[in-house]
Structure 1
Amino acid sequence: MHEPSQPADLHPDHTDAAIGPLSPHPEPGERDDEATLRPRRLTEFVGQSRVREQLELVLEGARRRGSPPDHVLLSGPPGLGKTSLAMIIAAELGSALRVTSGPALERAGDLAAMLSNLAEGDVLFIDEIHRIARPAEEMLYLAMEDFRVDVVVGKGPGATSIPLEVAPFTLVGATTRSGALTGPLRDRFGFTAHMEFYSSGDLERVLRRSATILGVDLRPDGAVEVARRSRGTPRIANRLLRRVRDYAEVRADGAVTRDIARAALAVYDVDELGLDRLDRAVLGALVRTFGGGPVGVSTLAVAVGEEPATVEEVCEPYLVRAGMLARTPRGRVATAAAWRHLGMEPPAQAPGDAPTLFDGE
């Protein structure tokens, strides 16, 4: 089996200020830890049962035909396993994996050089594919359909187009913003899968597997406690597990129980609902400073001393899913659940509560 190439700098779609214990984006230096915990086969991949079943059929059909499978598009929020699935696809096919990212493909020539070096059956993984430059995207259309690219030599009236054959390959694209993909690019993928947030039960299974690999003494009640504060995201669950492990080894006997997990997560400002310092600061400003809203995101960001992109991309998605913040045409509004979480009685006009997240196994 070919070894996958080392992932390039994938230029994640977020600001440096967005990094924190509950950010779904990888922290600097975290990729080595993630590589250790990544599943190698579909049978090892926890959660996403519908996607796993569909992908298994696609790959097995391709193996029996002896041809590369259809191009695969994986969409969904960060931290749910899109990169892991791309690596698994290559491993299941026994093919080499070539890794790049949309922002790295600024010119058509960058993509042409990568495509020309592919061997038959290789898997090309493009992370954040919605950020690929238009000239490279247009070249990708022809490569995906006809396995060839047209390279333009020269400039002006004397320019000529030279067709180059590309070895049959499988493109795996990953995106956190499927709506930002152009229609022509989306239509060229034969199989599209959307990754959903994990239930608490699936996150417990992720944590038990990671604890075994890391040698962490994770007790069942400790796994439950960490899982329910992980925002339905395996990357966050694994990050919290490592930090709870540090606390257990330094301030206890090394075993991660419910009480130890609670004490450790309190040190890291992660509360019982999976909110961190910035989340609570946003809710606090919205409720105490602006009377529950509505207020614009830029004004809200100034009130908490953060960039608007950080508030909008890191805090808001979870606060909306948790039923604590509502987006309206006039601005952000705190719900009744947000008022109560801060220990305050909600006003009559506050939007109602939402169902609890990630409880339905």
Structure 2
Amino acid sequence: MQDELNAATRDRIRRAPKVVLHDHLDGGVRPETVVELAGETGYHKLPTTDAGELGEWFVNAADSGSLERYLETFGHTVGVMQSADALARVAAECAEDLAADGVVYAEVRYAPELFLESGLTLPEVVEAVQEGFREGERRTAASGRRIRMGTLLCAMRQNARSGEIAELAVRYRDEGVLGFDIAGPEAGFPPTRNLDTFEYLRRQNAHFTIHAGEAFGLPSIWEAIQRCGAERLGHGVRIVDDITVSDSGSVRLGRLASYVRDLRIPLEMCPTSNVQTGAAPSISEHPIRLLRSLYFRVTVNTDNRLMGGTCMSREFTELVDAFGYTLDDLQWFTVNAMKSAFLPFDQRLALINDVIKPGYAALRAERLFTQVAAENPA
């Protein structure tokens, strides 16, 4: 009976409380919104104006196995998000879509520097997005769902604006901006190019994560942690390169992998995206299984819901189908994510104890009630 109580069926996955730490605002726009905004703003570069076909195009274009090609798809979403109204709309819809998928807490990131083409200033970009997230929270609460939205501001590693973006994150940290990230192509743009930015953030007691170990290997992870002081790793998939599994099944961790596990450095893994960009060969061969078995601080995330044709329920379902994970495993991933959030400790604890654990317990109890009723008909 215990196996039945713990089974992660598709319906239970959909209704389970979820947490996402790695989700890009411009990578999760609704296809119909892209089409509508393109029409309103005069953006004429879309490959099609049929929303269904456009959604398929984004997924197919992202399925290249190349991070650089994957990143090119953002030209269209960014292209239609160049006004305050567009940014606020996309942010509000983001909150609604995540909540509809059972997400109770989300940290959504974006690069403010990408939305200045029509004259917006960096503060205006941030304020528009924050307004959208608050509106999305209000709408979801009115519909009977609740979600807490947090923001991470990204600097693009190939540009030279990380200092400005870090200062922006600090300026708005009391208004929902919880931290900083650096994103973009890893190869040729090591995080150490921005050491002064990370030193500034540490002096300001500000949180930050770094995209590392996705398209580039262990040196990227080592620099992000040891030189820059990253609290979390965006993806971090290539940490598996420092783990040796013998033919007999015994496992040996290298110095860096041991350090990452010992310090409980969170890995923001995004299975579907990792396969799309070539960071992992397939879901069934994704390093997440090994890392979970070794009790690394693994979290499951969506990365870009539009490009991946995905959501948190789909990410969990893929892992359940590949590895036979149960509700216990999904709760473990979810609690890991909540522990690793940049939200204040007492608020993290409240969400774990008042929302996440009771949510999973209710799913098990529901199954138990159904089972007992079936075994004892009136």
Higher share of residues assigned helix = 2
Q: Higher RCO, 1 or 2 (CA under 8 Å, sep at least 6)?
A: 2
- Find the structure with the greater CA-based Rg: 1
| Same fold per superposition (TM over 0.5) | no
TM-score w.r.t. structure 1 length?
0.25
TM-score w.r.t. structure 2 length?
0.24
